[in-house]
């Protein structure tokens, strides 16, 4: 008898492929090829409010001074840097050239000797040859743009001796809202959002993983000194390269950005999900 079971991993693959196609096959790591964009991203998480959010996320992980931690999609070290100061070792995997460059600068600036950078896409990483597994904690924080999510999670399990944490999105984000309006103007096609946490949960369920789940709102602010700076940043986000596309972005965000204490800010929001579990002995 033919099975009617839904293949959630195929749904993830199909949805992500449609997103890549709508974005002309430019994936999220390409946004951060520019070191200046990566540096701006790092600065966004350095004010008091952002630091408090980062601290809360770290406190929500089970960490110990003797633990070894694997950070997948580490960016400029937003979590890897502070976590390294309370554990024995951190391996930070990051595919983007700009992000890796900024992370290495940050490691040097903080004088850290227990952080190892692996400049690779997670799906290209070999656990045995590229990593120093096993790790007590393996996590991926909003870095799940992986084409085969089931195989990617399995690789996380292979690298972990104890805990796995995944952070992702539920429902429409402010990024989705702006993209839905801008994509037809910029690219002549409808915007396709990435797969959300409902698909991820079902992939885990089919793997026999029944994670702890918590849902929470998240707000953030992008701050710019001028409209020119904002447009330059948004060009990478929205895959805009031509003069016409730049004008569309400028006109759109001129009506979206708010003035705040001599700066221009963009308010962002999303509903976020944390899924975590402990591997059975």
pLDDT in tens, 156-206: 999 999 999 999 999 999 999 999 999 999 999 999 999 999 999 999 999
8-168+195-216+272-278, what's its fold?
A: Rossmann fold (3.40.50)
**pLDDT the model gives residue 156:** 98
Predicted confidence at residue 27, as pLDDT, reads 59
Segments of the chain with pLDDT less than 70: 1-3, 24-33
pLDDT at residue 36, rounded to an integer: 81
What are the start-end ranges of the H helices in 23-62? 28-31, 35-44, 48-59
pLDDT at 47: 79
Q: Provide φ and ψ at 204, rounded to 5°.
A: -60, -45
Annotated domain spans of the chain: 8-168+195-216+272-278
CA dist., res. 137 & res. 64, Å (int): 10
pLDDT at 1: 41
pTM: predicted TM-score of the whole model, two decimal places? 0.92
Based on the number of CB atoms within 10 Å of its own CB, is 204 exposed (0-12), middle (13-18) or buried (19 or more)? buried
The encoded tokens of residue 158 equal: 């292979």
């Amino acid at each position: 008898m033919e099975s009617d079971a839904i293949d959630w991993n195929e749904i993830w693959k199909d949805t992500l492929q449609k997103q890549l196609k709508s974005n002309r096959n430019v994936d999220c790591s390409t946004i951060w090829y520019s070191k200046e964009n990566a540096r701006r991203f790092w600065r966004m998480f350095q004010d008091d409010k952002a630091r408090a959010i980062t601290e809360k996320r770290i406190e929500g992980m089970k960490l110990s001074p003797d633990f070894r931690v694997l950070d997948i999609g580490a960016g400029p070290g937003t979590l890897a840097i502070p976590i390294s100061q309370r554990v024995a070792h951190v391996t930070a995997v990051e595919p983007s050239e700009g992000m890796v460059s900024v992370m290495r600068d940050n490691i040097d600036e903080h004088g850290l000797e227990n952080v190892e950078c692996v400049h690779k896409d997670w799906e290209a990483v070999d656990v045995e040859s590229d990593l120093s597994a096993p790790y007590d904690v393996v996590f991926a924080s909003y870095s799940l743009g992986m084409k085969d999510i089931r195989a990617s999670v399995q690789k996380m399990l292979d690298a972990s001796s104890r805990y796995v944490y995944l952070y992702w999105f539920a429902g429409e984000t402010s990024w989705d809202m702006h993209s839905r309006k801008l994509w037809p103007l910029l690219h002549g096609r409808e915007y396709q959002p990435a797969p959300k946490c409902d698909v991820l949960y079902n992939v885990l369920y089919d793997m026999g993983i029944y994670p702890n789940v918590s849902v929470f709102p998240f707000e953030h602010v992008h701050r710019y000194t001028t409209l020119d700076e904002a447009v330059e940043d948004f060009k990478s986000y929205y895959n805009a390269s031509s003069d016409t596309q730049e004008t569309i972005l400028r006109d759109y965000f001129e009506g979206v950005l708010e003035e705040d204490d001599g700066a221009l800010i963009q308010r962002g929001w999303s509903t976020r999900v944390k899924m975590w579990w402990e591997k059975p002995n």
